[in-house]
Amino acid sequence: MLVPVYNMVGEKVGETELAEEIFAAPINEAVMHQALMRQLANARLGTHKTKKRHDVSGGGRKPWRQKGTGRARQGSIRAPQWRKGGTVFGPQPRSYRQKMPRQMRRLAIRSALSIKAAEEQIVLLDSLRMESPRTKDLVTLLDNLNIQDSTLILLPARDEAVALSARNLPDVKPLLASYLNVRDLLSYEVLLMPLEALEVIEAIWG
């Protein structure tokens, strides 16, 4: 699959071949959904907690004697039916972590990349270099490439200038190519990356 390569001015400077095993792989939507749900679940902290009756302070003494008062028998003022009592079946700390086989995770990434390639939502640059952080320069770059949708910028290595330039753009996110994941691939419309980032992707997911 041939994809045009542009420079930062928006001019076409050549073409490159995308690896078919990555960008033209069979699309498995079920595996993509499972990988997305796994990533969202693993991001949950699971630190929520409500107090049960033995966690609430007080209630050590029986509020009144068992018989002879005409009232219902009670053993503690911190029982669930009492005001300021404990909570029944409330959330407790737990782990939401899900496991997924490595081959399925790789298939999910390949499926998402194949969808981007099929819908022509991959834009390649010969290089991405910014001398200093400036949001206006990054907006100009996106305008030169005629990119109007949300954009995921893949970088071969950490670039402070690009990261700081994209910080004020709500629909643009820079990401290391080695950290590529299903959630970001499905959250952003356009995949923008220099050829160096493409080499990283092919080395990892090929």
Where residue 2 falls among pLDDT bands split at 50, 70, 90? confident
Question: Which residues pair with residue 123 across a beta bridge?
Answer: 192
Share of the chain above pLDDT 70, in %: 100
Task: Give the count of alpha carbons within 13 A of 145, CB side only.
Answer: 28
Q: Looking at the predicted structure, is the pLDDT value of residue 140 above 90?
A: yes
- Residue 188 and residue 110 share a domain: yes
- Residue 158 and residue 62 share a domain: no
- Residue 143 and residue 107 share a domain: yes
Structural domain range at position 82 = 46-95
- Residue 86 and residue 13 share a domain: no
pLDDT, tens digit, 9 for 90 and up, residues 50-86 = 999 999 999 899 999 999 999 999 999 999 999 999 9
Of 111, 109, 106, 194, the closest CA to residue 154 belongs to 194
**pTM of this prediction?**
0.83
161-165, long-range: CB < 8 A, 24+ apart: 161/130, 161/131, 161/132, 161/133, 162/128, 162/130, 162/138, 163/133, 164/133, 165/130, 165/133, 165/134, 165/135, 165/137, 165/138
Residue 1: the pLDDT is 79
- Residue 80 and residue 109 share a domain: no
Residue with tokens 């009492």: 82
Share of the chain above pLDDT 90, in %: 94
Q: Looking at the predicted structure, is the pLDDT value of residue 183 above 90?
A: yes
Where residue 187 falls among pLDDT bands split at 50, 70, 90? very high
